A and B are shown apart, each in its own frame.
Chain A
Amino acid sequence: MKFTRFFSRFVSTFFKRELEKVIKIENVTKMYGPTVAVQDISFQVEKGEILGFLGPNGAGKTTTMRIITGYFPPTDGNVYVLGYSILSDPLEVKRRIGYVPENPSMYNDMKVLEYLKFIGAIKDVPKSQLQDSIEKTVALCALKSVTHKRIGELSRGFQQRVALGQALINDPPVLVLDEPTSGLDPKQIHEIRMLIKSMAGERTIILSTHILPEVSMTCSKVVIINEGQITAAGSTEEIGRNLERSHQIEIMAEGPAEKIIDHIRRVKGVDNVINQGINYIVDVDKDSDVRAEIAKSIVTGDFDLLELHTRSLSLEDVFLRLVTEEEGGEAR
């Protein structure tokens, strides 16, 4: 046992590339009874990356994260964290991961300082370093003003920071954050995001979310999961580019709607027009720029063109599109 561990470490050090894959998820499947929660998913995270794990609610994000953190074992497949298998070396994996669950539940009866001390001890922070680690964590998560308050009495934002604190107390190389900004107000969201971003590089982070701007703002890589399967994976830009199949143009114009639609449709490159009051949303091919043509067409029809601008697909639209396409595909 000891020897194989030593050997695998040796091998991974030898092939340095392998070591850089901090988290390896290999063909992981999880069943809850007969229900499949995640099916055969594989992906890797390299050192210092922030991976955005994206999907609608119930897609299997939390299940995957719980497997990575060792909360429960996968039904099939394996997860390696820094070379340790979650199945054969769960304690070693757990030592290297800091986990913040969604809406984290902590011991509400404990005071913040007391709680951090307890978690530090449980996570095997040496006694001589414990005080130091607590001070560092308190400073990093800006908890100084609440150290003597009970966790249950704290605001949601502070609770989230305490949750981050318990994850960081033993200075783990890997962080797993399940929807770290859910339930926070915009200011708190911003603070938490900045905190996460500031930790990139030294730590490898997996962050799950269903909020897309979060991914484009904080993550370098994205894995999109839907109904327990990975639908797309790659860098943030890649995903955006590949899936951006068409542009949309938003037009505001006054005049009889049918005629306006007719005029817009005449322009070459227009796929579809949707009318909402005086607003028109036009789907166009992404290769051609038809804004001038459309403007001309409307003006020559003697309608009042109030506004015209492109609406490039945000990651959110891409995501929605991916998810709905999947569903559409299945329906057929």
Chain B
Amino acid sequence: MRNIAEIYKRELKFYFSTPIAYVVMVIFTAIFGFLFFRNLTYYSELSYQLMQNPYYAQRVDLILGVFAPLFNSNSIILLMVIPPISMRLFAEEKKSRTIELLFTYPVKDIQIVMGKWLAAITIIFLMLLLTAPGPFMAFTFAESSEWGPILAGYLGIFLMGVAFLSLGLLISALAENQIVAIIVSYGALLGFWFLGWVVEPDSGKQIGKVLGELSIIGHLTNFVKGVINTTDLMYYLLFIFTSVFLTLRVLESKRWRG
């Protein structure tokens, strides 16, 4: 545990002693803030108009009107900002050869991976935490008390972020070069994203259904609506577990090959 904690502390400190953490957080919160503002103003205009029709007025709601689209569009921003966080995790240590000493210390691979992984997760967590004032204000003024769906949405994008990160971790363990790591991460994440579009999911073909289920973005839709579905939860957890597991295997195999 101590080893994980030490590596975690070092990694986290590194993110903040270089511009990476700040740049990523500023860009993410700025875009989140802008989208939130735009969605909210659009929603308030819309609800103002719909007030005249009691039938429609019932159907407008803050979650579906503001937060679901907000979280959905933020998934693409996460896709953009997470590879810069994950690309360095192993690629940098390999390039600068600091990994040579690290691998000769009495630490297990899993402790190294966990330390690094948790540090990067912390960045994602902080990034999402910085966006909290938005929803908080909205709810204060909207006098609504439905926090559950929002938290579910946050859980969804957090899990998706960690899934992106874990795949990035794996790619960083494979790559020697950070540029290669980031480009391959983008490629792989977009690939998982587009999987659902390869075959029309509603075309009735079995393959379309399977690919749709594999799509990394498809599993977010329920979360942002405030529904925590076991299938979606399991998808992200499995995705994360598989990526981390493969990272460990990659490190071991690279070691045997020398």
Which chain A residues lie closer than 8 Å to B9 at the CB level?
118
How many B residues, CB 8 Å from partner? 24
Q: Please, what's the 1-or-0 string for A90-121, where 1 marks a CB less than 8 Å from any CB in chain B?
A: 01101101010100111111100000001101
CB closest residue in chain B, given A105: B97
Is B3's CB within 8 Å of the partner chain A?
A: yes
Q: Which of A94, A104, A107, A118: most chain B Cβ within 10 A?
A: A107
**Beta-carbon contact of A105 and B98 below 8 Å:** yes
**Beta-carbon contact of A105 and B256 below 8 Å:** no
A-B contact count (CB 8 A): 70
**Beta-carbon contact of B6 and A118 below 8 Å:** yes
Considering the chains assembled together, what is the distance between the CA atoms of A107 and B255 in angstroms?
A: 21
**Beta-carbon contact of B104 and A105 below 8 Å:** no
**Beta-carbon contact of B106 and A33 below 8 Å:** no
CB proximity of B217 to chain A, nearest CB, Å: 35
Across the interface, B96 reaches (CB within 8 A) one of A30, A37, A66, A105, namely A105
B10-18, B137-145, B177-185: which one contacts chain A?
B10-18
Is B249's CB within 8 Å of the partner chain A?
A: no
Q: Which of A31, A63, A92, A99: most chain B Cβ within 10 A?
A: A99
Considering the chains assembled together, what is the distance between the CA atoms of A119 and B101 in angstroms?
A: 10
Across the interface, B104 reaches (CB within 8 A) one of A33, A69, A108, namely A69
The answer to whether residues A123 and B105 also contact, given A73-B256, A118-B6 and a CB cut-off of 8 A, is yes
Across the interface, B101 reaches (CB within 8 A) one of A31, A33, A105, A124, namely A105
Considering the chains assembled together, what is the distance between the CA atoms of A259 and B177 in angstroms?
A: 65
Considering the chains assembled together, what is the distance between the CA atoms of A166 and B102 in angstroms?
A: 11
Pairs A-B, 9 closest by C-beta atoms? A105-B97, A94-B106, A69-B104, A121-B6, A95-B106, A91-B106, A99-B104, A105-B98, A72-B255
Is B38's CB within 8 Å of the partner chain A?
A: no
Q: Please, what's the 1-or-0 string for A60-98, where 1 marks a CB less than 8 Å from any CB in chain B?
A: 000100100111110000000000000000011011010
Considering the chains assembled together, what is the distance between the CA atoms of A97 and B103 in angstroms?
A: 12
The answer to whether residues A122 and B3 also contact, given A69-B104, A95-B106, A109-B17 and a CB cut-off of 8 A, is yes
Q: Please, what's the 1-or-0 string for B104-125, where 1 marks a CB less than 8 Å from any CB in chain A?
A: 1111100000000000000000
Considering the chains assembled together, what is the distance between the CA atoms of A63 and B257 in angstroms?
A: 12
Considering the chains assembled together, what is the distance between the CA atoms of A308 and B2 in angstroms?
A: 67
**Beta-carbon contact of B106 and A166 below 8 Å:** no
Which chain A residues lie closer than 8 Å to B133 at the CB level?
none
Which chain A residues lie closer than 8 Å to B17 at the CB level?
109
Considering the chains assembled together, what is the distance between the CA atoms of A217 and B60 in angstroms?
A: 85
Considering the chains assembled together, what is the distance between the CA atoms of A66 and B99 in angstroms?
A: 12
Which chain A residues lie closer than 8 Å to B258 at the CB level?
30-32, 37, 63, 72
**Beta-carbon contact of B101 and A109 below 8 Å:** no
**Beta-carbon contact of A99 and B101 below 8 Å:** yes
Q: Please, what's the 1-or-0 string for A12-40, where 1 marks a CB less than 8 Å from any CB in chain B?
A: 00000000000000000011110001000
Which chain B residues lie closer than 8 Å to A73 at the CB level?
255-256
**Beta-carbon contact of A122 and B6 below 8 Å:** yes
Q: Please, what's the 1-or-0 string for B6-43, where 1 marks a CB less than 8 Å from any CB in chain A?
A: 11011000100110000000000000000000000000
The answer to whether residues A91 and B100 also contact, given A30-B258, A118-B10, A124-B2 and a CB cut-off of 8 A, is no
CB closest residue in chain A, given B100: A101
Which chain B residues lie closer than 8 Å to A70 at the CB level?
103-104
CB closest residue in chain A, given B105: A122
13 A-B Cβ contacts within 8 A?
A31-B258, A32-B257, A32-B258, A33-B257, A71-B100, A73-B255, A91-B108, A118-B9, A118-B10, A122-B105, A122-B106, A122-B107, A124-B106
**Beta-carbon contact of B105 and A119 below 8 Å:** yes
**Beta-carbon contact of B7 and A106 below 8 Å:** no
Which chain A residues lie closer than 8 Å to B256 at the CB level?
72-73
**Beta-carbon contact of B257 and A109 below 8 Å:** no
Considering the chains assembled together, what is the distance between the CA atoms of A99 and B7 in angstroms?
A: 19
Considering the chains assembled together, what is the distance between the CA atoms of A216 and B8 in angstroms?
A: 44
Which chain B residues lie closer than 8 Å to A72 at the CB level?
103, 255-256, 258
CB closest residue in chain B, given A63: B258
**Beta-carbon contact of A105 and B100 below 8 Å:** yes
